[in-house]
Amino acid sequence: QRQMCIRDRGDLNPARLILGEKSLCLTVLQDTGNTLTEPICNRPVMVAEARALEALLPEEIDPSDPVGSMERLEDADLRRRFRLLPYRAVGVEYGMLLAVRTDRVELGGRKLEGLLVALSPTPVSDGGGYQALIGEMDQ
């Protein structure tokens, strides 16, 4: 049975993340200021509150310890899904985010195969109106 997500509201869009046999819904802000992309292929990366993705993640994952999380992942198939992503932000000259490669993300009517989702250890929304953000998407 398909899980229902909220309806579109301007720059906020519903998203369904699928990882293996599990899925969940979030609200995503289209954020033109977010320029986080995969270093090699330059595809946009979704940044999501790790707490909102807990149901999809293995217990070894601790978003506040990205390197340690990678070291703790013993399952080879799971390990291939995760990456460390370098990033810069206001007040952060250089940091690392743990990211997971999803099977698919359905975002505002689009199906994005293999989208990388970075796990933020802190909320991405001031007021809790959304749980993830993504930068410019190719039309």
CA distance 85 to 96: 5
pTM for the model stands at 0.86
CA distance 15 to 67: 27
The two tokens of residue 136 are 């410019």
Q: What is the pLDDT of residue 9?
A: 45
pLDDT at 11 over 90: no
Work out whether strand 82-89 and strand 46-49 pair parallel, antiparallel, or are unpaired: unpaired
Question: Three-class SS of residue 5?
Answer: coil
- The alpha carbons of the chain give a radius of gyration, in whole angstroms, of 14
Please say whether the beta carbons of 113 and 104 come within 8 A. Answer: yes
Residue range 31-85, pLDDT digits in tens: 877 888 888 888 899 999 999 999 999 999 999 999 999 999 888 888 899 999 9
